[in-house]
Each structure stands twice: as structure tokens, then as C-alpha cells.
Amino acid sequence: MLQLVIATVLFLVMMFGIGFILNMLLKTTWFPIYMYVIVLIPIFIWQTWDDTKSFAGNFSAFTFVDILPAIGALIGAYVSGATIRALRRGGYKMF
């Protein structure tokens, strides 16, 4: 259980950092969330896909331990966009 908490926080912080840097470099606000949904989730599903199982069987194989760090990363991507948006509204032109 401790590893799950650490992994979730690690993914949240890691996605926040990557998203913050991407937002500064590309001058976008919600790009990390789009990247997460369009690129990272399908890659994760493709890597864990098992041809011997049915379509529903593949998705039912994901457990709470698999989903919670992914939700943490999605929250980190959202918080990075919200932080950049708040900094821009605060008058910081670099962001």
C-alpha cells in the first residue's frame, strides 16, 4: 500500500513538472492533458493488451493499483495547466 501512495504522488509530481515545462516552452495551457489522453493512455493499453482475452476481459484486467497512479498523473497534468493559467492571469508574461 505504501508503494501505491508513493507511485501516485511520484506520477503526479512528474506529470506536473513535465506539463509545466511543456506549457512554458510551447505557450499552451492544456497541452499536457491532451498529450496524456491521446498518446499515453493508448500506449499503456496497447502494451498491456493480451490477444487471448476478449475486449472486455482486457479492460477488466486493470485493477485499482493500475488505475490510481494514472489518475494521479492526470491530476498532475491538470494542475500544471491551472498553474500556468494562474501565472498568466497574474501578469507573468514569461509563462
Grid cell listed for 33: 492533458
The pTM score is 0.81
Comparing 59 with 21, the larger pLDDT belongs to 21
Tens of pLDDT along 55-93? 777 777 778 888 899 999 999 999 999 999 999 899 887
- Residue 2, pLDDT > 90, answer yes
Residue with more model confidence, 92 or 16: 16
- Stretch 10-34: mean pLDDT: 90
pLDDT of 10 higher than 90: yes
Number of H helices, E strands in the chain: 5, 0
Please tell me the distance from the alpha carbon of residue 51 to that of residue 74, in angstroms, as a whole number: 27
